[in-house]
Amino acid sequence: MTQKPEWDSVGPPPWALFAQEQIRAVGEFVQFGARRQLLRDAPRGDGHPVLVMPGFLAPEFSTSPLRNFLRDLGYDARSSHLGVNLGPSARVNETLEGRLVHLHERHGRKVSLVGWSLGGIYARELARSHPELVRMVITMGSPFADISATHAARLIPLRPGGKPLHEAHDLRAALGRPLDVPTTSIYSRTDGVVHWRGCLQEEGPQRENVEVQCSHTGMGFHPEVLTVVANRLALAEGAWRAYLRPAA
């Protein structure tokens, strides 16, 4: 079983991995050409709504490949309406809550939340506040277990109590608490932006960590990540089971 990290920060990943991010992401985007095969192999969706949230400093269109893929599978995949994700704020909270309520009322069904990096932390906290509206949460390279375990920590305009993120122990503990809805955390040991240990949750009923091999920047369109997301979303509501990696 994968263990979550201790509360002492593991720090961001090595600079060598960070330096390779863009080059690796370009190669991984080329792999997105396998999308047709993925669509043929992936289970079809049941039409339920999926709200997708981008990472820190990422524009809304960064999640377009993922949302288009999910729509082609039959889901009503929608953007967060955040524009460029500039970090936590009251406006972000109000916008995401409004999107969740709107999608739930429009479909009369629970909404699945998919978040990339900081967007995954948004997804988790949205589900924590409104578990009755959420079907499941899928995070991709999201350091909810250690918010300072990322190179982006220097940029996020959040200093709880005037302290840097690695000293904000209460906040870190709160973000890492288990959710009351099924939760899948996708992480990569070769992530150059977020240290993989910062993405680990304590595994248990309806909680899992799934490892992939890709860059952080490529998570939104990497075939292995798309396979995991499609598999998880296809689970019938109330019939959660742990991810079983398909044969190569």
Fold of 15-233: Rossmann fold (3.40.50)
Q: How many residues does the chain have?
A: 248
Q: What is the pTM of this model?
A: 0.89
Alpha helices in 130-181 (DSSP H): 169-176
Look at residue 188 and give its three-state secondary structure.
Answer: strand
Average pLDDT of 60-71?
Answer: 95
Distance CA 66, CA 146 (A): 25
**Domain ranges for the chain:** 15-233
DSSP character for 13?
Answer: P
Tokens 């209460």, residue located: 170
141-168 pLDDT per residue, tens: 999 999 888 887 665 545 545 555 555 6
Instruction: Summarize pLDDT for 77-104 with one digit per residue, the tens.
Output: 999 999 999 888 899 999 999 999 999 9
pLDDT digits (tens, 9 = 90+) for 204-227: 999 999 999 999 999 999 999 999
The answer to whether residues 115 and 139 touch, using CB atoms and an 8 Å cutoff, is: yes
Contact 155, 178 (CB under 8 A): no
Q: Given the structure tokens 């959660």, which residue do they identify?
A: 240
Over pLDDT 70: what percentage of the chain? 88
Question: Looking at residue 217, what DSSP letter applies?
Answer: T
